[in-house]
Amino acid sequence: MNTSTSSAATLGRILMSSLFLMSGVGKLADPVGTQAYIASKALPWPEAAYVIAVVIELGFGTALVLGYRTRIVAAVMAIFTLATGLTFHDNFADPKQLISLMKNIAITGGFLQVMVWGAGSLSIDAFIAENRRRARA
């Protein structure tokens, strides 16, 4: 992978993660409001759903920025993004809700790309792979 490709892969991971990191911080700032919003969608265990959302958005978002276990992280985030889109943007008659759902679907597509192609050479995954390769040589 050349320098511009590696840089683009890293920038892509950072840009995709930024949305989730900011959202996770917002959830930490208003846990009661977030849990009430989750409950308003008739989801079971809003407290547990809140914790799962924060862990995915902050924990997995950070892992994606760093390029750590990137393929697994991207797969989980793809499922999370599609599921939250379908759950929270379910009023298809409302153009704003439909656009939000379509954005979630597009982001899911980006995660699938990351899942298939990996993190790139500027990542913890690449560092670990290189160290393993050197250890075998």
Region of 40 (left: φ > 0; alpha: ψ -120 to 50; beta: rest) is: alpha
User: Which pLDDT belongs to residue 35?
Assistant: 96
User: Which pLDDT belongs to residue 2?
Assistant: 66
Closest by alpha carbon to 85, among 107, 64, 63, 70?
107
Closest by alpha carbon to 128, among 84, 83, 71?
71
Do the Cβ atoms of 87 and 34 come closer than 8 Å? Answer: no
Q: What is the pLDDT along the chain (137 residues), one digit of tens a residue?
A: 667 777 899 999 999 999 999 999 999 999 999 999 999 999 999 999 999 999 999 999 999 999 999 999 999 999 999 999 999 999 989 999 999 999 999 999 999 999 999 999 999 999 999 999 999 87
User: Which pLDDT belongs to residue 127?
Assistant: 95
Distance of alpha carbon 77 from alpha carbon 107, whole angstroms: 9
Distance of alpha carbon 94 from alpha carbon 15, whole angstroms: 27
